[in-house]
Amino acid sequence: MIELLFPKKCCYCKKSGYNICPNCYQFIIDKTKSYQKCPKCHKPSYNGFTHSSCLPFALDGIHVLYQYSSITKALLSEYKYKFIKELETPIINLFLEGLENNDLLNYWKRDKFCLMAVPSFKTKNNWRGFDSLKEISKIIGQKTGLNLNDNSLTKVKWTRQQAGLSKKERKKNIKDAYQITCKEAIKNVLIVDDVYTTGSTLEQIAKLFKKNNSSKVWGLTLAG
Ligand SMILES: [Zn+2]
Ligand SMILES: [Zn+2]
């Protein structure tokens, strides 16, 4: 019945019958692979490693799978703001396709990186009924063999959406927004987020883990 009232349409090209059509999905994979940059200086860097000349820096690297093109933008905004839960599967599959045959995945697995999502603020979870990024990370963990650790980080403050804010405002917005809830240090941490823009959120979280004696902290995002 719901389908009749609201027929499915591709989030980008509006072709009916799909939440994302096979063409748009394949276009993301074939044509919008991301170029990797150092999270500190934003200049090109192999696989997204922080240049050794840019260390010390809280983040040891950020790996961005796809460019933040108009298609990925449409996909993520329909998923996040129109609550189209069926888009979760294509989003997870895009993560998995991007990680397939990826050297970094082997490195993260070998060095036992703990996978966790950037947490949402509690009321937001309750309102939506689920924490989308947490669900996505859980399945990425199951499918890739990375260990999931989803109870070591929490969000303790409501924040405005980072998009549309200046770098300075973003920093202020997320100041003291996250807290580590585990007692022991986690050796290596891999934080999953949907979009990488200025990296303020991931940097803030990385700083917390480094203060808590983590050795390496990486970020992984779908787009950026
Ligand atoms: Zn389409
Ligand atoms: Zn650099």
Give distance in angstroms: CA of 14 to centre of ligand 1: 6
Which ligand is the nearest neighbour of the Cα of 13?
Answer: 1
Give distance in angstroms: CA of 15 to centre of ligand 1: 6
Q: What is the pLDDT of residues 2-47, one digit of tens each?
A: 556 678 999 999 999 999 999 999 999 999 999 999 999 999 999 9
Split into its structural domains, the chain has a count of 1
Give distance in angstroms: CA of 224 to centre of ligand 1: 20
User: Would you state the pLDDT for residue 3?
Assistant: 55
- Is 14 within the bounds of a domain? no
- Is 183 within the bounds of a domain? yes
The band of 118, judged by pLDDT with boundaries at 50, 70 and 90, is: very high
Give distance in angstroms: CA of 58 to centre of ligand 2: 12
- Is 15 within the bounds of a domain? no
Range of the domain at 152: 34-68+93-223
Query: HEC states along 91-151?
Result: HHHHHHHHHCCCHHHHHHHHCCCEEEECCCEHHHHHHHCCCHHHHHHHHHHHHHCCEECCC
User: Residue 120: which CATH number?
Assistant: 3.40.50
User: Would you state the pLDDT for residue 130?
Assistant: 62
Q: What is the pLDDT of residues 196-224, one digit of tens each?
A: 988 889 999 999 999 999 999 999 999 99
- Is 19 within the bounds of a domain? no
| Distance between CA atoms of residues 26 and 32, nearest Å | 10
Give distance in angstroms: CA of 54 to centre of ligand 2: 5
- Is 13 within the bounds of a domain? no
- Is 5 within the bounds of a domain? no
